[in-house]
């Protein structure tokens, strides 16, 4: 394997999207630092103590990513050892996934009109 000056073409879009996400984190108040990898940028809101604050933070993040990156989020509840989490996923055209995670009990009011998601075990 050799290292070249440019990323593989199939990954170039993901790199651009990751850079755009970091730019948004730098310039948008309230967005936490993401955990990024080759195929995802994950944002965690489960440490927010008050339900209203968590709903507001997640709604703001969803709005920013929708406006700036065209992200469309779907949700599911994920069981984890420290409680059920509401996970919002959006897949960008580049193949990069944006994942927003909050405590499920904090998000129930926001999603009460939405169809119930499936409860799945965390990997």
Edge-first strand order for the sheet with 40-44 is 35-36, 40-44, 97-103, 83-91, 74-80, 119-121
Tell whether 1 is covered by a domain: no
Tell whether 111 is covered by a domain: yes
Check pLDDT > 90 for residue 120. no
Region 110-115: what's the mean pLDDT?
A: 51
Of 102, 79, 80, nearest in space to 89 by CA = 102
Span 72-90, pLDDT tens digits: 999 999 998 888 999 999 9
Region 57-62: what's the mean pLDDT?
A: 96
Task: Tell me what pLDDT residue 111 has.
Answer: 53
- 76 lies in which domain range? 11-121
Tell whether 27 is covered by a domain: yes
Which letter does DSSP use for residue 20 in this model? H
Least confident of 49-53, 66-70, 86-90, 113-117: 113-117
Region 6-22: what's the mean pLDDT?
A: 84
Residues 66, 82 contacting (CB under 8 angstroms): no
Which letter does DSSP use for residue 74 in this model? E
Tell whether 5 is covered by a domain: no
pLDDT over 90 percentage in the chain: 69
Tally of structural domains, the chain: 1
Of 49, 48, 18, nearest in space to 35 by CA = 18
Band the pLDDT of 105: cuts 50, 70, 90. very high
Task: Tell me what pLDDT residue 7 has.
Answer: 58
Tell whether 42 is covered by a domain: yes
């Amino acid at each position: 394997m050799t290292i070249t000056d440019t990323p593989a073409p199939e990954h170039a879009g993901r790199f651009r999207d990751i850079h755009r996400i970091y730019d948004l984190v730098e310039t948008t108040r309230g967005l936490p630092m993401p955990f990024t990898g080759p195929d995802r940028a994950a944002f965690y809101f489960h440490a927010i103590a008050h339900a209203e604050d968590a709903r507001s933070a997640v709604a703001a993040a969803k709005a920013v990513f929708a406006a700036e990156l065209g992200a469309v989020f779907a949700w599911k509840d994920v069981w984890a050892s420290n409680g059920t989490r509401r996970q919002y996923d959006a897949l960008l055209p580049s193949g990069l996934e944006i994942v927003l995670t909050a405590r499920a009990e904090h998000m129930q009011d926001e999603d009460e009109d939405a169809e119930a998601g499936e409860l799945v075990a965390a990997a």
